[in-house]
Amino acid sequence: MTEARPVPRILVCDDDRAVRSALNVNLTKAGYRVTLCDSAEEALERMAGDPADLILTDVKMPGRSGLDLLAEARRHWPDTRVVIMTGFGSVADAVNAMKAGASDYLIKPIERDELLMLLERALESRALVREVRRLRREVDAKYGFANLVGATSIMHEVYDQVQAVAESGALVLIQGETGTGKELIAHAIHYRSSRAQAPLVAVNCGALPENLLESELFGHEKGAFTGALRTHQGKFEQADGGTLFLDEIGEIPPSVQVRLLRVLEGGSFTRVGGERPVKVDVRVVVATNRDLRAEVKSGAFRADLYYRLNVFPIRLPPLRERADDIPLLAEHFLARYAERHGRPPPLLTPEAVAQLRSWRWPGNVRELEHLMERTLLLSGGGGEIRAFAVPEDAAPVPSDDSSGDQMTLAGDGLDELDAGGLPGLLDTWERRLVVAALEAEGGVQARAARRLGISRSNLNYRIGRLGITLQDVKFS
């Protein structure tokens, strides 16, 4: 059953009794609630008690004028729309009213159809503004600082960095493990910037193969390749005037790295299959869970692109480095999902909190969030949570005894180190790992890349750099 929409209320202000009566009849028949006033003073008293959705007022009246009423309404009830009525010989008054913020004007004598159409348009404009405001509140609640939960000093440093860079328009590189909230930080930067009213366009660079990624970012012309049946605007064009968020930037292949660097340097590009340069005004925010500096050293990532991206780096700490935030985050997620699922939030006991703090959380904040939603659903809401089912991959945080983490080199490792130095040793072991992954996955590169935790394009690069051929891979 749909909820009935409230009937709009219109306040009519005119010192002419006949005009008030005629407007009352027409507006009431049209389904509006009508309040009649014969002066601006009375209209302001009525508005103070119960503000109307729209004021329909004459300009010239004894005492305060319709323009005075307009000014007061704009000051005290900015959501209320004001439509001015004026005589044919006073069009200048209507022009002044529009400059002062009136939604529209009508010239007497007033036609009924014109009146109703104009009022409907003004009320739709009011509803649209209120809806935009509501959506902005939702966006701010989801992506603003209020949703960046954390009271530890390391998170306050992150907040300070976001605050400092948001308005600048500088390129931002967000680094952190999977699940630390990189996308949330990107949204917070966009919605606290002067570009907040423009689009925020996000691309997961690791989810697309090389040929599709290039077209997705830069667009293509009709007929550029098989299946290109029409011209397609890429994400850079779609984000013009706003922000482009490139997630998993470390996954992009070398050919796309070159094109991306050119866009960042010059602000223009050509679509795939095109010749005409396209100029865009885009703020770029990128994120990665990889160590790009190490990727540069290995040759998997261009050094010039890395230094262009590394203008304002923000590092998001893993959850294990901010254990004091775990109780806050857990309660935040329980409250969020309790509201979403219509259940009372359960209470976490000290024992449950201690258990949460003892885990390593390889999936970071995202893993904790999913556990809290699952816990709420299983508990039915309310009551106390005394313990959690231990996630399979959430091993306890190790003690201060780090002897088990020490690396030792022996046997063949030391011999190879003596022979070729550290670079040669690293290449040898990297080659063995790549070959072993290919053998384990029957030569299927996509599966081998997943086993190694890298993208397929990254695997292809390493196969070429290490000189691995089909003869090197032994299939069982």
Q: In the prediction, which pLDDT does 260 show?
A: 94
Distance CA 207, CA 248 (A): 9
- Residue indicated by tokens 């865009």: 280
Q: Residue 51: what residue type? A: P
Q: In the prediction, which pLDDT does 304 show?
A: 95
Distance CA 61, CA 38 (A): 8
Angle at Cα 458 formed by Cα 457 and Cα 462, nearest 5°? 115
- The CATH architecture annotation of domain 144-317 reads 3-Layer(aba) Sandwich (3.40)
Task: Going residue by residue through the chain, which has 476 residues, state the pLDDT in tens, using 9 for 90 and above.
Answer: 444 568 899 999 999 999 999 999 999 999 999 999 999 999 999 999 889 999 999 998 999 999 999 999 999 998 899 999 987 667 777 788 888 888 888 888 888 998 999 999 888 888 877 776 776 666 655 555 555 778 888 998 999 999 999 999 899 999 999 999 999 999 999 988 999 888 899 999 988 887 789 888 998 888 777 777 788 888 999 999 999 999 999 999 998 999 999 999 988 888 888 888 899 999 999 999 999 999 999 999 999 999 999 999 999 999 999 999 999 999 989 998 998 889 998 999 999 999 998 888 889 999 999 999 988 888 887 888 888 875 555 555 544 444 333 344 444 445 544 545 556 667 777 888 888 888 887 777 878 887 777 777 778 778 877 888 877 777 65
Q: In the prediction, which pLDDT does 139 show?
A: 60
Element (H, E) at 12: strand 9-13
- Domain boundary assignment for the chain: 9-137, 144-317, 320-385, 413-472
pTM: 0.58
Q: In the prediction, which pLDDT does 11 show?
A: 96
The reply to whether 144-317 shares the fold of 9-137 is: yes
- CATH number for the region 320-385 comes to 1.10.8.60
Q: In the prediction, which pLDDT does 403 show?
A: 38
Distance CA 77, CA 70 (A): 10
Helices (H) then strands (E): counts for the chain: 18, 14
- CATH number for the region 9-137 comes to 3.40.50.2300
DSSP string, 210-263: HHHHHHHHH-B-TTSSTT--S-B--HHHHTTTSEEEEESGGG--HHHHHHHHHH
Topology of domain 413-472, CATH: Arc Repressor Mutant, subunit A (1.10.10)
